[in-house]
Structure 1
Amino acid sequence: MDQSTLLYGAITLVVCGLASLYVALVAWSPPPIVTRESEKKYLCHASPKKPRPLPRLADPSSVDLTVVVPAYNETERLPIMLASTIDHLTSPALKHKYKFEVLIVDDGSSDNTSTASLKLAAKYPKCDIRIVTLEKNWGKGGAVRHGMLFGGGERLLMVDADGASRFTDLELLWEAMDKIAPDNAPGVVVGSRAHLVETEAVVKRSLLRNILMYGLHTILRIVGVGHIRDTQCGFKLFSRAAAQQIFPAQHLPTWMFDVELLLLAKQLRIPVAEVPIDWHEVAGSKLNVVTAPLQMLRDLLIVRANHLLGRWKAVPSKAKSD
């Protein structure tokens, strides 16, 4: 066998290998997140049976702040979280600072989270608490994306339903946003637990969770967001201008969606600030520490590969929501 035949064979193997990897990437990439007509409307205390239309992210803002709460089977943890949120936003010190809305996105729950949320909204009749129910369970990223695409806030805060983050720390994020994104410019502020690594809040976590945390940080440095010490904290503030560019381009509905959001911000040259916040672990996490590492690694590779190959692109303009 001459050298030309060997070279041809080697090239053929490489091409076939790359083609196979590309086919696998396409097959493993999540399908587009589809918004159904019923999901473009919400219920509230004032209209518990007749759905009202949600605003679109591409529209001008109607309030100062939208609080987006992704909720999957959260009937037990949501009341405490919502109470702390409303207590802070209606406190005498802030009573006239924010015109706000709370958008609870029920991610296809099986425990009547939407019904429970409506009952909670009745406890705060003077507050604009909206409940939207997704027809299927997409995952936390899908629920956050939906809330952002249909929020009316000039700034939009994603916050976990478990209440693990201290809601009063919103003021720290708000001040940081004022600095990096004045005059409603694009900006993202990330609540961070990185300063807690050596404290009891993290030390007392299970060994498996801590191994997962350190392993994830190593991978994140490889994929390009190592400049953010805590990508996974569920307490992030977006200016409307930033959200309009980032969320229509989001593809991942799963746990690693936070990383995709930060990668998109980096590609779009949107400034990102990281602010230390208070945090404590709350029982009832939906994260499966056995299967999560493999899923996270797969999703990170999918995100990075799709962006490198140009299959997923960030568009630096006011993209329209679904």
Structure 2
Amino acid sequence: MDQPLLAYVAAVIAVLLPSLYLALVLLSPPPIVTRPSEKTYRSRASLTTPLLLPSLADAGSLDLSIIIPAYNESARLPAMLDTALAHLHASPSQPESESTSANCHGHPPRARTHEILIVDDGSKDDTSALALELATHHPATDIRIITLEQNLGKGGAVRHGMLHARGHRLLMVDADGASRFADLEALWERIDAIAPGNEPAVVVGSRAHLVKTEAVVKRSLLRNILMYGLHTILRIVGVGHIHDTQCGFKLFTRRAAQQIFPAQHLATWIFDVELLLLAKQLGIPVAEVPIEWHEVAGSKLHVVKDSLQMLRDLLVLRGNQLVGRWKVTP
């Protein structure tokens, strides 16, 4: 390569690299800010006076925290909550042990202690008021309602709930009730197997086995094309080993959540991929378990617009990790 051409290539690189870095900075979301009111919750025990939320950094104090992100979910939340509570109150007992579901120490079984955190993601309807009303109708469960002042996105709402949960294990679940809540037991058994002492671990509910069933085949052609395109991109960015990254039914041990969620930057739809990438980079094992799922009317996903946003956010995520702006520290 002659000298003038080398000089030209060097000049192009000298201009291109700073331009790409500047574009990355401009496209990256700002840090997620928690406002004072968002550090509090209301519940049946405190309908009008907000109480201070605990921290994920504290030791766990119950078996399971269920985090439900909710944006304008006054129509779908009641049925989902009824189904979840019916299962929780009828679910198998477990021993007096932090993590196991088999009575290996001879302790008498007990009910699985739990809480539900409904995170109202800046809804424009009466989601918070309805959630508080539902909490009064279910006194046997500690249902806490957190209201975000502005809409962050599903990932931001999940992150906020996780950062203030008390469970030794933490389940994120969508407010629409599309996932069968009873499949929690399959996730629980799997996490018992890979993290018997509640070591860092994640178990993902998977709908991959439904790809050739009516649940997916009846979706629009465009939605299926975008789904396959997303899977191809995910293989490129490093989470192709997970067949269903986007299912909103994921179980974390507390030690996994303590490492993953403080490092989360994305609040949009693609946040699930960031969580799984963080787990991979932190050496946290991730397992997949098939679950039942059905389409529920009222989805907030705008297929084309949100798919383009997902692609942009994936590029932003990997770009920031590659240049070291978003560092992962065990």
Q: TM-score, normalised by structure 1?
A: 0.96
Q: Give how far 1:4 is off.
A: 3.1
Q: Give how far 1:206 is off.
A: 1.4
Alignment of 1:126 onto 2:140: yes
Whole-Å Cα distance in 2 between the matches of residues 116 and 155 of structure 1?
A: 26
Aligned match of 1:207 in 217, 221, 227? 221
Q: Which structure 1 segments of 5+ residues have no match?
A: 317-322
Whole-Å Cα distance in 2 between the matches of residues 36 and 151 of structure 1?
A: 17
Measured on the aligned residues, the alpha-carbon RMSD in Å equals: 1.3
SS state at 1:290 partner: helix
**Residue type at the aligned position of 1:75:** S
Q: Give how far 1:7 is off.
A: 2.0
Q: Give how far 1:97 is off.
A: 3.1
**Residue type at the aligned position of 2:283:** R
Q: How many pairs were matched up?
A: 315
Q: Which structure 2 segments of 5+ residues have no match?
A: 95-109
* Contact 1:149–1:247 (Cα < 8 Å) also in 2: yes
Q: Give how far 1:92 is off.
A: 6.2
* Contact 1:107–1:134 (Cα < 8 Å) also in 2: yes
Matched with 2:14 is: 15
* Contact 1:220–1:226 (Cα < 8 Å) also in 2: yes
Instruction: For residues 277-318 of structure 1, give each alpha carbon's deviation from its aligned partner in whole angstroms, at most 9, with x where no partner exists.
Output: 0000100000001212211110111111111111111111xx
> Structure 1 residues 196 and 19, CA, compared in 2 at 3 Å: closer, same or farther?
same
Aligned match of 1:110 in 116, 124, 136? 124
**Residue type at the aligned position of 2:25:** V
Matched with 2:313 is: 299
**Residue type at the aligned position of 1:277:** I
Q: TM-score, normalised by structure 2?
A: 0.93
Q: Give how far 1:184 is off.
A: 1.4
Instruction: For residues 76-101 of structure 1, give each alpha carbon's deviation from its aligned partner in whole angstroms, at most 9, with x where no partner exists.
Output: 00001100110000116449431000
Whole-Å Cα distance in 2 between the matches of residues 280 and 268 of structure 1?
A: 32
Matched with 2:180 is: 166
Q: How does 1:33-112 map to 2 (within 5 A)?
A: 33-91=32-90, 93-94=92-93, 96-112=110-126
Whole-Å Cα distance in 1 between the matches of residues 150 and 48 of structure 2?
A: 20
Matched with 1:315 is: 329
Instruction: For residues 241-292 of structure 1, give each alpha carbon's deviation from its aligned partner in whole angstroms, at most 9, with x where no partner exists.
Output: 0000000000000000000000000000000000000000100000001212
Matched with 1:182 is: 196
Alignment of 1:231 onto 2:230: no
Alignment of 1:145 onto 2:165: no
Matched with 1:198 is: 212
Matched with 1:25 is: 24
Matched with 1:245 is: 259
Percent identical residues? 68
Instruction: For residues 227-251 of structure 1, give each alpha carbon's deviation from its aligned partner in whole angstroms, at most 9, with x where no partner exists.
Output: 0000000000000000000000000
* Contact 1:162–1:282 (Cα < 8 Å) also in 2: yes
SS state at 2:158 partner: helix
Whole-Å Cα distance in 1 between the matches of residues 206 and 257 of structure 2?
A: 19
